[in-house]
């Protein structure tokens, strides 16, 4: 019971523990997933950043190739240009050479600073490549163009170094996006004389930048030094709007302004735009040196983290499902354990109660051996070794009116039902046998009672016997039980009629049998637990082994112990399959009359002594005493009685001597009483038998003989009578 309480508590506790466990597991899982998620996010961000930066670098490098090429073309021509300053007509050669030799250069001019050459106040021959690839030459020294006011001309002169112009759409050359690199050219005196330029088409730039696609939905933007959007996925913005403009209308203006400023300042880095998580966009930017441009790669966060976010959702769902299942399983387990504990407790309680029942039952069955210690005519032993805690075997016996009533039985089946039926059978035996005097009646009545209430088709094999203790006459009735063994000169089966077991059907006649047991005969009753005990190889102990064990001479308890041991040795490690029940009855009545009394009354006449001799002889014959003992007893009695006859009564008066012999099993008692004068013969002095002939007194031997022959001699004076009691053990 305590154990079950513990289980219950543990289960109850484990319910709480289980919930805690789930929570801890959930928290751990959540934390792990979160950490993984965050670190994955970082990793993805880093990866995106790396990819963006490498794209930026690659794009910039490609641009720089073109830029360097253009710059080199221009710079390499400066010395010629300087040399040609004195011959302006030849200047066109310089530009032509630049265009012809550099495929990326679309056009080139050598523009003189106004007023440098008096002959040519404005001079700027422009060599360009037509869309068809032919070299064309025009003059930019027109009034409407007014080249000295153009950026490509003014800026290099202002800075005194090479200058990349803001990109522009060349309307003259077929709406091509262009940029111009222009370098001031000084004459030999160090005076700035002209500006040499190379126009670079930026058509490839659109393709180049447009082709940068780090992620499917990512895009790139190139802005000029001034912030003009040169290349972007939105066609209408290109060369039309500036980043500053765009920033004003952007959702996250603040960050956009920071981005714009950083890009315009030629910084590199990254920035996240967008307030709401879903709208967030990572921008990686970096400058394109020399040109003053800045390029940005824009990647929506959904692109960067899309995978992991989808994964996150999936993991979340999985986690939820898993946790729910865990909770379900845990609850179910706890419930089933609780149920198991309850069932176990019920079972345990039931078994406990049954074992109490069994103990009560066993306590009613005689278990103390020897059962009749005061009786010398019977030696009995019995035992039940149950296979399960509660068994279905029974035995019982009792002595009523000098008859031994005994029975043995085996209930079909095992365990609880068998034990209950065993109780019923035993109770019926006790109640029926307490007033019935024949085994046939006992068995019939038990069978009828049992058949009436037997609804479970269980039955009991049963053997019932009644042994007349005085005569050894045995009456018995068998109801389907194993035939008992009878020990006479040999050991053999008691002849039994098989008959039906008890409880099969009512109204059946059970014939009775009878037999006379002699002194030292014995009966051995047993259940099939003995003969059908099996060893590991499923061999049965069998009747032959059983009989051979019993051949040796032992007392009844010894027989049962030997049998138990023999069966146990035979069975070995195999499990005891059935109850082992045995009853041994050793009949030891040698028909001596039990404590019979014989009486002799003599007159105080010495001539009556021969009657005493006859009396003793009869007793000796009755008790089958040997002749020597008979003579000794006769002698002792004669001495004692003679003493009374001769001295108890005054001479001439008439008196009687009463001699009572009590014949016990192994003791003979004589009580000699008279109404004469008080005289205690036991008080007489002991005769000295060592004296010689001369000193030896003639008398005094009588009481001496009495004392020597008998085991006890005692005298008492009661109610005016001398009572001398003498006993002799046999």
Quote the CA–CA distance of 111 and 147 in Å, as a whole number. 8
711 belongs to the binding site for another protein (CB under 8 A): no
Stretches 309-317, 434-442, 626-634, 651-659: which one binds another protein (CB under 8 A)? 626-634
Question: 105 and 173 in contact (C-beta within 8 Å)?
Answer: no
Pick 530 or 637: Cβ nearer another protein:
637
Asked if residues 395 and 581 have their Cβ atoms less than 8 Å apart, the reply is yes
Burial zone of 278 (CB within 10 Å; 0-12 exposed, 13-18 middle, 19+ buried): exposed
Nearer to another protein, 72 or 689 (CB): 689
Rg for the chain, CA atoms, rounded: 68
Smallest separation (angstroms) from another protein to the CB of 716: 23
CB of 436 to another protein, least distance (A): 53
Cβ burial 195-214 (10 Å sphere, 16+ → b, else e): bbbbbbbbeebbebbeebeb
Q: Which residue, 264, 316, 256, is CA-closest to 295?
A: 264
Collapse the DSSP code of 345 into the 3-class scheme (helix H, G, I; strand E, B; otherwise coil) and give the result. Answer: helix
Of residues 311 and 631, the one with the C-beta less far from another protein: 631
**Closest distance between another protein and the C-beta of residue 437, in Å?**
48
Is 699 one of the binding residues for another protein (CB under 8 A)?
A: yes
Considering only 354, 496, 705, 723, the residue that binds another protein (CB under 8 A) is 705
Given the complex with another protein, which of 562 and 701 has the nearer CB atom?
A: 701
Q: Between helices 301-364 and 415-433, what is the axis angle to 10°?
A: 20
Number of residues this chain uses to bind another protein (CB under 8 A): 30
Residue 104 is a binding residue for another protein (CB under 8 A): no
Pick the stretch among 42-50, 381-389, 570-578, 699-707 that binds another protein (CB under 8 A). 699-707
Which of 69, 531, 708, 727 is the binder for another protein (CB under 8 A)? 708
CB of 717 to another protein, least distance (A): 24
Closest separation between CB of residue 699 and another protein, Å?
7
> Near another protein by CB under 8 A, which window of 59-67, 179-187, 537-545, 693-701?
693-701
Question: How is the beta sheet containing 269-273 ordered, strand by strand?
Answer: 229-231, 219-223, 293-300, 281-288, 269-273
Q: Does 698 bind another protein (CB under 8 A)?
A: yes
Handedness of CA 583, 391, 482, 542 (dihedral sign): negative
Residue from 638, 644, 648, 674 touching another protein (CB under 8 A): that is: 638
Shortest Cβ 639–another protein spacing (Å): 5
By beta-carbon proximity to another protein, the closer residue of 298 and 709 is: 709
- Comparing C-alpha atoms, which of 578, 508, 561 is closest to residue 369? 561
Nearest alpha-carbon partner for 560 in 585, 528, 588: 585
Among 314, 320, 601, 606, binds another protein (CB under 8 A): 606
Looking at the Cβ atoms of 512 and 639, the one nearer to another protein is 639
Residue 556 in contact with another protein, rule: CB under 8 A: no
Report the residue from 149, 175, 627, 718 that binds another protein according to the rule CB under 8 A.
627
What does the alpha-carbon distance between residue 219 and residue 430 come to, in Å, rounded to a whole number?
A: 107
Residues 11, 17: Cα–Cα separation, whole Å:
9
Is 696 one of the binding residues for another protein (CB under 8 A)?
yes
Residues ≥6 apart with Cβ < 8 Å to 95:
107, 108, 109, 110, 125, 126, 127, 196
User: Cβ(491)–Cβ(435) under 8 Å?
Assistant: no
List the one residue out of 156, 152, 143, 147 whose CA is nearest residue 124: 147
Stretch that binds another protein, among 218-226, 255-263, 423-431, 696-704 (CB under 8 A): 696-704
Beta bridge partners of 229: 223
Interface segment toward another protein; rule CB under 8 A; list 198-206, 324-332, 631-639, 660-668 = 631-639
With respect to another protein, which residue has the nearer C-beta, 250 or 705?
Answer: 705
Residue from 315, 338, 496, 701 that binds another protein (CB under 8 A)? 701
Which residues of this protein are in contact with another protein, per CB under 8 A? Answer: 606-607, 609-610, 613, 627-628, 631-632, 634-635, 638-639, 642, 687, 689-694, 696, 698-699, 701-702, 704-705, 708-709
């Amino acid at each position: 019971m305590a154990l079950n309480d513990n289980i219950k508590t543990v289960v109850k506790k484990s319910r709480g523990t289980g919930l805690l466990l789930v929570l801890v597991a959930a928290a751990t899982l959540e934390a792990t997933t979160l950490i993984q998620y965050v670190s994955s996010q970082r990793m993805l961000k880093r990866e995106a950043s790396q990819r963006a930066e490498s794209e930026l670098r690659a794009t910039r490098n490609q641009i720089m190739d073109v830029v360097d090429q253009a710059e080199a073309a221009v710079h390499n021509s400066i010395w010629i240009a300087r040399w040609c300053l004195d011959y302006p007509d030849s200047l066109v050669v310089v530009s032509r050479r630049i265009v012809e030799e550099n495929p990326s250069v679309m056009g080139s001019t050598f523009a003189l600073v106004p007023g440098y050459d008096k002959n040519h106040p404005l001079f700027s021959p422009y060599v360009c490549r037509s869309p068809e690839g032919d070299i064309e030459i025009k003059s930019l020294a027109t009034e409407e163009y007014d080249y000295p006011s153009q950026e490509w001309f003014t800026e290099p002169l202002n800075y005194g170094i090479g200058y990349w112009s803001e990109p522009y759409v060349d309307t003259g050359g077929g709406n091509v996006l262009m940029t111009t690199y222009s370098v001031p050219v000084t004459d030999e005196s160090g005076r700035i004389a002209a500006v040499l330029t190379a126009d670079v088409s930026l058509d490839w730039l659109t393709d180049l930048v447009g082709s940068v696609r780090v992620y499917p939905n990512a895009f790139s933007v190139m802005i000029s030094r001034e912030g003009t959007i040169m290349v972007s996925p939105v066609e209408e913005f290109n060369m039309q709007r500036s980043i500053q403009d765009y920033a004003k209308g952007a959702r996250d203006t603040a960050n956009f302004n920071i981005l714009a400023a950083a890009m315009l300042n030629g910084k590199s880095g990254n920035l996240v735009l967008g307030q709401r998580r879903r709208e967030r966009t990572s921008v990686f930017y970096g400058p394109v040196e020399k040109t003053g441009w800045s390029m940005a790669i824009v990647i929506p966060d959904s692109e960067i983290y899309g995978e992991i976010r989808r994964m996150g959702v999936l993991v979340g769902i999985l986690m939820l499902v898993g946790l729910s299942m865990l909770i379900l399983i845990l609850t179910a387990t706890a419930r089933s354990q609780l149920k198991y504990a309850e069932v176990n407790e019920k079972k345990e309680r039931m078994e406990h109660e049954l074992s109490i029942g069994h103990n009560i039952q066993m306590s009613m069955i005689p278990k103390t051996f020897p059962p009749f210690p005061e009786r010398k005519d019977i030696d009995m032993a019995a035992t039940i070794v149950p296979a399960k805690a509660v068994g279905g075997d029974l035995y019982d016996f009792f002595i009523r009116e000098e008859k031994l009533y005994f029975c043995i039985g085996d209930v079909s089946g095992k365990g609880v039902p068998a034990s209950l039926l065993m109780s019923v059978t035993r109770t019926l035996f006790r109640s029926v046998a307490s007033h019935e005097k024949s085994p046939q009646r006992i068995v019939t009545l038990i069978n009828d009672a049992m058949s009436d209430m037997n609804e479970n088709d269980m039955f009991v094999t049963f053997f019932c016997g009644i042994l007349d203790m005085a005569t050894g006459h045995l009456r018995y009735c068998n109801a389907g039980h194993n035939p008992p063994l009878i020990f006479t000169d040999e050991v053999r089966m008691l002849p039994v009629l098989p008959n039906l077991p008890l409880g099969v059907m009512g109204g059946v006649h059970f014939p009775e049998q009878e037999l006379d047991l002699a002194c030292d005969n014995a009966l051995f009753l047993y259940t099939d637990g003995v003969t059908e005990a099996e060893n590991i190889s499923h061999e049965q102990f069998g009747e032959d082994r059983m009989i051979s064990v019993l051949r040796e001479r032992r007392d009844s308890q010894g027989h049962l112990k030997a049998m138990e041991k023999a069966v146990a040795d035979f069975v070995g490690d195999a499990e005891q399959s059935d109850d082992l029940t045995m009853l041994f009855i050793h009949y030891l009545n040698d028909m001596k009359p039990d404590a019979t009394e014989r009486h002799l009354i003599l007159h105080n006449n010495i001539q009556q002594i021969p009657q005493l001799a006859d009396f003793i002889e009869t007793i000796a014959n009755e008790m089958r005493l040997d002749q020597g003992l008979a003579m000794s007893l006769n002698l002792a009695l004669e001495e004692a009685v003679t003493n009374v006859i001769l001295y108890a009564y005054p001479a001439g008066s008439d008196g009687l001597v009463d001699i009572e012999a009590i014949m016990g099993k192994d003791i003979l008692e004589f009580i000699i009483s008279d109404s004469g004068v008080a005289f205690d013969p036991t008080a007489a002095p002991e005769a000295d038998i060592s004296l010689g002939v001369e000193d030896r007194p003639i008398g005094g031997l009588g009481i001496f003989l009495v004392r020597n022959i008998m085991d006890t001699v005692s005298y008492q004076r009661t109610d005016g009578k001398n009572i001398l009691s003498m006993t002799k053990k046999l």
